[in-house]
Chains A and B, each alone.
Chain A
């Protein structure tokens, strides 16, 4: 597999969605993910992370381009209307590409 063909999908969203999103992402076929707490500001206002209702997370998934697109589309359809959510993909070079796709 070509290194350049690996994508990093990043999702910044409300912490309340964590368990649901993990469920979705795994069901769509991602082999792993990384979650970090995040803070920031966007179109839905300041997310200060100081307590439950204003907590944000950043989920990162490394996968092939097709799956990245599939996950992004799914999230857009299911969550964009009602939740604070930003997703973007970038090309990444990883050391063991076979670790991130079937």
Chain B
């Protein structure tokens, strides 16, 4: 396996150090800084590319993506409730985590494509924002119904003005307004250092993931299976969506990765506020303890394979007709 990216080794290193109960930890301000840089970089790259896209091709894509953002948690919810036997609040909360996306996983997928020189639509960063939000709303409604108790203004404020969405949108706008030549002056910090920053981020993610492993034993087999099967099924849906939208192989693989990924920042925060009776340990154990490592270690190469095979399948079918 010469193809393991060094950033993945950083994740495994963090995981190992955490599992060994080492004193290692990233100061929390550094972690904040590193995740801020990642979000802004992803936003900036997407924004530059956005300027080149005619709105007429973008809009249908955006509508489909938002629609899928609403659908994904609805697929996960009944499985959790009826097969997993979780209560309503927990099922809704976990479903929201899996319907939403993980920016960290997205960043690893981008690094994977870059390393292999695989082209993809850089404006995928916009899809990250679009996929982040709908699942949160669906999760709250699944847990509560359209209850009057839900303070939608507060929820909206939390979700839209939260750190993740704000940095991504800020980056998108600045990239869009500045264009490729304008962004050149700040590219040493944001683009040249991307892999190094990602490595530090993944080191911390490894340490955090290690803290979730303890609760894994407590919550058992269903959560582990759910944490692996769900990304696989959602990745197939993502591959199909990507191909239907006419994305490149790289773009389709990244969209599949986004569908497969589960949130561990925006959704936990929103669920904590809006569905407080849901047990946060359950959803974080699944999304961080299982799905995140599964996706970055095995998922992304697999989703790349899905995308290239899906593409060739389509080509063959067209020839056949």
Contact = CB atoms under 8 A, between A and B. Distances in A.
Contact of A50 (B28, B154, B268): B28
Contacts of B273: 16-17, 20
B284 interface: yes
Interface residues of A, number: 19
A16 B28 contact: no
Interface string B161-200: 0000000000000000000000000000000000000000
A75 to B, nearest CB: 13
Interface in B191-246: 204, 207-208, 211
Interface secondary structure of B, over-half rule: helix
B276 A51 contact: no
Nearest to B281: A45
> Which of A46, A54, A82, A83: most chain B CB closer than 10 A?
A82
A65 interface: no
Contacts of A14: 272
A66 B264 CA distance: 40
A52 B268 contact: yes
Contacts of A83: 272, 276
Interface in B16-39: 25-26, 28, 31
B272 A50 contact: no
B31 A50 contact: yes
B269 A50 contact: no
Given A16-B272, A16-B273, A83-B276, A50 B25 contact: yes
Interface of A: 14, 16-17, 20, 37, 45-46, 48-55, 79, 81-83
20 contacts: A20-B154, A45-B281, A46-B211, A48-B211, A50-B25, A50-B26, A50-B28, A50-B204, A50-B207, A50-B211, A51-B31, A51-B204, A51-B208, A52-B265, A53-B280, A53-B284, A79-B276, A81-B277, A83-B272, A83-B276
